Chain A
Amino acid sequence: MPVAEGELLSSSSRKVGSVVAGRQQRLSHLRLLEAESIHILREVASEFERPVMLYSIGKDSSVMLRLAQKAFYPAPIPFPLLHIDTGFKFAEMLQFRDEMARSIGAELLVWRNEPAIAAGTNPIVLDTKRCCGLLKTQALLDALRHYNFDAAFGGARRDEEKSRAKERIYSFRDTAGQWDPKNQRPELWNLYNARIHPGESIRVFPLSNWTEMDVWQYIHEEKIPVVDLYFAKERPMYVRPIGSGQDVLMPIEQDFVARPGERPQMVKCRLRSLGCSPCTGAIRSDATTIPDIIAELISFRSSERANRVIDHDQEGSMEIKKREGYF
């Protein structure tokens, strides 16, 4: 019998006592995550000359934005929001974006890679990898350079994808905006090294330690508005069989997505993560409220980004994109 057993029992019984005594005082995981994220937002705002918050309109961005409001209250958010518009975002997203910025009084910047958009760049003419490279990565790097931003907040979480699991909270980028996974600064306690040379920058991930479930629970508890596309309703979709009785639902926003002879059908569905309409599949769903979405999440056996075409182009494709400067 291991010696430790007695210790374990005695320490756990002590714990039960303290939990009962101070139940209302023990901080839940959401309060702990919130406190950590606010600390990060304040550190960056205080230590960098020109921070910016990447605002992608999705659920993670919505949480990040609420945390920024909380971090500086009653003062306004001390940095602008930046949206990288590929031209392929859902119309509902753009409307939501403008309303949100207006209602909270935030400064909103929108950047598009106009030359590439004018040249007809899309994921079918090119492949998804090159399309992302031009409309997202290149546009982002151009915008950061144009405005001279030295720190950019992003809503990425470590639980999203394997290469993200090793990302620091302060992710250091060289003068070309590139990430070197082998040369990351150690990050201890809550002490972040904010020093950079001119021309270098950092990406900051205040939601690093949040999971998809945490994000939805927080949205629920805090009553944070999210885009309607997350909720199920009858929507026109191209329904494409992919074998073994399964199919994918493609939004009809862009004409070029349609295959010859393809006709949209009305399907009750919703989007699990928001991206560009040609590369984001919808899922069949009856979830019309946040608790419905959370219940659905519990029953899911497939990870959140599985319906994002971009990640499984090639083995480790997210890591390759990040090395090149992708968020």
Chain B
Amino acid sequence: MATVASPAFSIDEFLLQEREKDLLRFSTAGSVDDGKSTLIGRLLYDTQSVYEDQVRSIEGKGTTAPGQIDFALLTDGLRAEREQGITIDVAYRYFSTAKRKFIIADTPGHEQYTRNMATGASTADAAIVLIDASKGVLIQSRRHAYIASLLRVRHVIVAVNKMDLIGYDERAFQAIEADFSAVLNQISADTGTPVERIFVPVSALAGDNIVHRSKKMPWYGGPSLLEILESLPSSQDTRKAGFRFPVQRVLRPNQTFRGFAGQVASGTVRPGDAITVLPSNRSAKVQRIVAWDGDLEEAIAPLSVTLVLDRELDISRGDLIVATQAQAAVARSVKAALVWMDQRPLDLSRRYLLKHTSQTVPVLLTSIDYRTDLTKLTREPAQTFEMNDIGAASLNVLRPIAVDLYGENRSTGAFILIDPETNATVAAGMVTATSVDVTAGEEGETGAWGAVTAGEREARWGHRGGVLELTGPVESIRAIERSLFAVGAVSSRIDANEDVFLLHPNLLDVVTGIQVRSGLLALVIHANQSDTLIARAEGEQVELDIDNSMHAISAVHQLLHRAGIFISSEKAGL
């Protein structure tokens, strides 16, 4: 809305100019009274990005002096917030200037909203960290800067707000700058990510140095906040990074066309490029880059395209296509920084689901390496992670995944954890180290059990240990048992209704526990007269129509694949 129609205005010129604009995403964080909502409201208002009816709807409301607009009301969306006077979630705002389009991820600043801050930072190119000049550096400014650095937001703009309250005092500003620079250095050392910082003294309420340079701080002489935002390089440019392309979907409209649809996560691809498919490690050349408007000569991140290869390879959703000369790691265990986001604390004895690019894999958290105390910026040992905790842990994925370090690739190094019972997103993860081998010392599922390791059993049998519970008519269960045998699964069969298990309910767990550690596929059978078959593995359940037995069998094999028991789709007989 910045360019207002004037006599000389030409729509064709405007459209040409618009076409050139790029997009910068930035996050903000702040609490009730440090003026964040006012700052954003002011940014929107002064760039003419709010409409008159929106301004009218808030005039005369709010907490500012009569006749003054309470800019905070422009951005506080939800009723609950209006009632409590706080911002409780991430809100997205949009505005544009003659130079650029912007997306703001506007997040609350209190400790209980750490997860919202991480959410906002995850897609941001820049972060505005607010400091109240009348109060100095508070914990929430440190927290926000820490999260921005952890999530690798490239630029941190430190807006020292409420300069009007301290008489626009240069010395006070410099003191804050010195203080917070030291904090930022400490943060960089902890997260391993350099923080590119810019300090700017502002008053959101009075509009000083927000859009226009302020005359009240001649000692500053630098650009306004908006000028800074307009001139930052956007970090979308990953053209020179290794090519990464997670396969979202296989497109097969007819017998002759077979394309792999996905979004370029990093790098560039051209027809003729040598690519490798991970984790299966097979190679081919790119034949075509297909798009609706015609084939492309090259595709750069983050374009969504469809690749056609020069030969038939077994590729499915979740596979990662990479440049053959710049491969990603195929890992069975990773170390990662985690932000815990769920009310229920981390339970090391449970399995979670790890969603990474376009795949979801069961995962065990084998140990907590440390928790970070954001007040002191120190690392401390921890037994668990609770809501809003930040720390690091080791994880074993139950199927190998192709990953990069988050420090090198923000797209293929990131994951979320999901609780398979509640389906909640419980954590955000950033890979800091990878290993082909499972973490040492991890007894139980994937570690050594006796003289033969889990990896050796797996290599021989083509699957790992796990429990498959089948509830339904006995004929269907038999058909599934036969089909598992046919693909070479080494299974055992336990009837859960046998007296001994009914008498000692815990015994079933003990027996299947031993079988799983021995690498067997333990079938636990509940026979009944129902006309459906329920199959359950790793917390996931499918309900199947027994009249369509081919479909039921195939669905159970897919379930075992998704659950990480069958490692490849080939072994699963799919």
Q: Which A positions have Cβ atoms within 8 angstroms of B?
A: 1-5, 7-8, 11-12, 14-15, 18, 25-36, 38-39, 42-43, 45-46, 69-76, 158-159, 162-163, 165-166, 181-182, 184-191, 193, 195-197, 208-209, 211, 213-214, 217, 220-221, 291-292, 294-295, 298-303, 306, 315-316, 319
Contacts and interface: CB of A to CB of B under 8 A. Distances in A.
A35 B198 contact: no
B416 A193 contact: yes
A298 B92 contact: no
Interface string B237-253: 10100000000110111
A291 B292 contact: no
A15 B100 CA distance: 14
Contacts of B115: 186
Tell me the interface secondary structure of chain A in the complex. Answer: helix
A217 B90 contact: no
Nearest to A316: B79
Contacts of A26: 22, 237
Given A74-B253, A189-B122, A25 B290 contact: no
A303 B15 contact: no
Closest 7 CB pairs of A and B: A38-B304, A4-B198, A303-B51, A75-B253, A70-B292, A162-B77, A195-B423
Given A25-B300, A191-B415, A301-B51, A165 B15 contact: no
A182 B80 contact: yes
B15 A220 contact: yes
A306 B468 CA distance: 56
Given A7-B197, A195-B353, A195-B423, 5 more contacts: A42-B261, A165-B92, A193-B425, A301-B51, A319-B78
Contact of B198 (A2, A15, A159): A2
Interface in B211-240: 219-223, 228, 231-233, 236-237, 239
B249 A46 contact: yes
A165 B76 CA distance: 10
Nearest to A292: B11
A306 B88 contact: no
A166 B21 CA distance: 25
Contacts of B22: 26-29, 32
A162 B261 CA distance: 34
B21 A29 contact: yes
Interface stretch (B1-9, B131-139, B431-439): B1-9
Contact of B220 (A2, A27, A74, A181): A2
Contact of B103 (A2, A184, A209): A209
A166 B91 contact: yes
A186 B123 CA distance: 13
B65 to A, nearest CB: 23
Contact of B53 (A162, A214, A303): A303
B343 to A, nearest CB: 10
Interface string B1-39: 101110001011011001111110000000000000000
A36 B263 CA distance: 8
A31 B233 contact: no
B358 A8 contact: no
A184 B88 CA distance: 11
Contacts of A301: 51-52
Nearest to A73: B292
B101 A29 contact: yes
Given A3-B181, A4-B197, A186 B425 contact: yes
Contact of A35 (B1, B263, B293): B263
B94 interface: yes
A214 B93 CA distance: 14
A186 B116 contact: yes
Nearest to A185: B425
B69 to A, nearest CB: 15
Contacts of A294: 11, 14-15
Contact of A73 (B177, B252, B290): B290
A7 B232 CA distance: 11
Nearest to A38: B304
B196 interface: yes
A295 B15 CA distance: 10
Contacts of B199: 2-4
Contact of B252 (A4, A28, A75, A185): A75
Contacts of A42: 248-249, 261-262, 304
Contacts of B323: none
B161 interface: no
Interface string B185-226: 000000000001111100000000000000000011111000
Contacts of A220: 15
B149 interface: no
A298 B51 contact: no
Contact of A163 (B78, B177, B237, B414): B78
Contacts of B122: 188-189
B303 interface: yes
A34 B304 CA distance: 8
B162 interface: no
Given A25-B300, A35-B303, A75 B77 contact: no
A22 B411 CA distance: 23
Given A7-B198, A163-B78, A186-B341, A208 B92 contact: yes
A2 B11 contact: no
A208 B237 CA distance: 23
A211 B261 CA distance: 26
Nearest to A34: B304
Interface string B44-85: 000000011110000000000000000000011111101000
